[in-house]
Structure 1
């Protein structure tokens, strides 16, 4: 199906159904009017027609629940169309704050002693040691500029791409998301190179030299020059 355009609405057929591109510069009322006009075509109405899934893209326009319902009524009313998704390039303030927390780097300069727990949202950069019996937990990655001899739990909210790195890797326990590795069978390198733990493609926890991390997790490039 070729793309069709009527004022502020563009309809394009795809292998999965229809995609509606709604202009984000006009008023919402005008958008509803044009959408109703576009969908009045008989090709979208018919008792024997199969149900077609519709993806709605609204661009840089925030759509609240009431407006979502208005779109749903116009698109689905008396038509063999059903909304599969409504996608906006705009996020709410709450979503923005959540993303900020998840990607934030929390820096701490201290020693985590036995019985102490340090838990943060986002990535943790600890300048100091984690002694036996000490625990560090982060929803993101954990980077320790010191010796890790206690417990480290990265990605505690389910992020299996999280990593744990330490100048001296001698943990009593490592956890990444729901993967657990008790007292890893690992002898740290004799040199002073940092090491990192991550979950590989087979779901196994692996410890490598930190230099391998840029290839394993290229999305960590924002830390270049930091550690």
Structure 2
């Protein structure tokens, strides 16, 4: 039995079950039952329309699948039907071309240029200085007493508890961004 023969995809009040066409029906039914059992109480109390695609099912197989979902999932199953909609295909001209700059519409990042960027992996500890002539991304924390200095933007992918100076060359547009900004207490 191929473990990847059944995929659940959910959207608002709808569950789509994607089944491999070449897989045996009883094997698929067993996989669906295992997925429901492993989902715990995820479906409990939900009201769902269920669609399936991939493997073609007879009316009897649909009935068995409906009963399995109704009896084992804890959800109220409104309907079960074959998904006849074609998946939406993205046209090549809609995809961004390589090296195309994509700008974020958020006001704070307006006009943000990539430029040269250095990635520093690890925690900046007390007494340590990390500096760079360009943008600087810290993949880790900046601890109290740690110092980060860059002529461009500074992004901290962790907690910022130390000192950060962005735009060290006078760039007043430079940003400091952190996942967790912790200001020192003034006591």
TM-score range, shorter chain: 0.3 to 0.5
How does the TM-score come out when normalised to structure 1?
A: 0.31
